[in-house]
């Protein structure tokens, strides 16, 4: 297992409690639940809610998780098809600005997340027989388990962020975008 996640976030994650030692099948099962978990948590939300310590609205976090899964889906499909194992990094904040995530409606972000989860699972299935070895500029060498746990952590961690934002807004009566 690549140690990037646990060394960066802790084992378990210091903030969201994610256990990096989760086996591949269990990690995939957790990602299967992601769309429902976000929909359930965000039922009745406007999407504009924001915690003052966090960069994005709750809809922005949903959009980020969908984008992150889509990017890793492309990478998995690439290595599964025999492409070079080198993958590039990306700046999530610049991507959010370029996509203008602040204006993506929550319903659209949740729809995108659902599609991203489905396509990600297909890519993992496609990449599994190859081992899906990748070389990331910041994270180093990543095997399929490292990619999967990193992706699942991102989705889980941001669900935790969304919960924090909603709790803050419910507790203070503020936090939504103007």
Tokens, residue 69: 């899964």
Does residue 176 carry a pLDDT above 70?
no
Find tokens 């948590």 and name the residue. 41
Contact (CB, 8 A) for 169 and 42: no
- Centroid of chain to Cα 9: 14
Question: What pLDDT, on the 0 to 100 scale, is given for residue 152?
Answer: 97
Question: What pLDDT, on the 0 to 100 scale, is given for residue 87?
Answer: 94
Segment 73-121, tens digit of pLDDT = 999 999 999 999 999 999 999 999 999 998 999 999 999 999 999 999 9
Question: What pLDDT, on the 0 to 100 scale, is given for residue 173?
Answer: 54
Write the CA distances from 7 to 2, 4, 157, integer angstroms: 10, 5, 15
How confident is the model over 9-15, as a mean pLDDT? 95
Question: What pLDDT, on the 0 to 100 scale, is given for residue 67?
Answer: 97
Angular region, 132: left φ>0, alpha ψ -120 to 50, beta rest: left
Beta pairing partners, 136: 140
CATH class of the domain defined by 23-44+54-170: mainly alpha
Question: What pLDDT, on the 0 to 100 scale, is given for residue 15?
Answer: 94
Segment 37-51, tens digit of pLDDT = 999 999 999 999 999
Question: What pLDDT, on the 0 to 100 scale, is given for residue 130?
Answer: 87
Domain ranges, ordered by start, for the chain: 23-44+54-170
């Amino acid at each position: 297992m690549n140690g990037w996640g646990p060394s960066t976030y802790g084992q378990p994650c210091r903030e969201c409690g994610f256990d990096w030692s989760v086996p591949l099948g269990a990690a995939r099962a957790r990602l299967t639940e992601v769309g429902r978990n976000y929909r359930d948590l965000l039922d009745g939300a406007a999407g504009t809610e924001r915690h003052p310590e966090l960069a994005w609205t709750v809809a922005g976090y949903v959009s980020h998780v969908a984008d992150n899964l889509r990017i890793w889906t492309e990478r998995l499909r690439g290595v599964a098809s025999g492409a070079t194992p080198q993958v590039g990094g990306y700046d999530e904040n610049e991507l959010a600005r370029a996509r203008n995530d602040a204006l993506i409606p929550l319903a659209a972000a949740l729809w995108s997340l659902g599609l991203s989860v489905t396509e990600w699972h297909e890519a993992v299935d496609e990449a599994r027989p190859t081992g899906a070895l990748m070389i990331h500029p910041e994270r180093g060498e990543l095997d399929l388990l490292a990619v999967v746990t990193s992706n699942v952590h991102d989705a889980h961690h941001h669900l935790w962020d969304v919960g924090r934002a909603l709790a803050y807004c419910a507790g203070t009566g503020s936090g939504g975008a103007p």
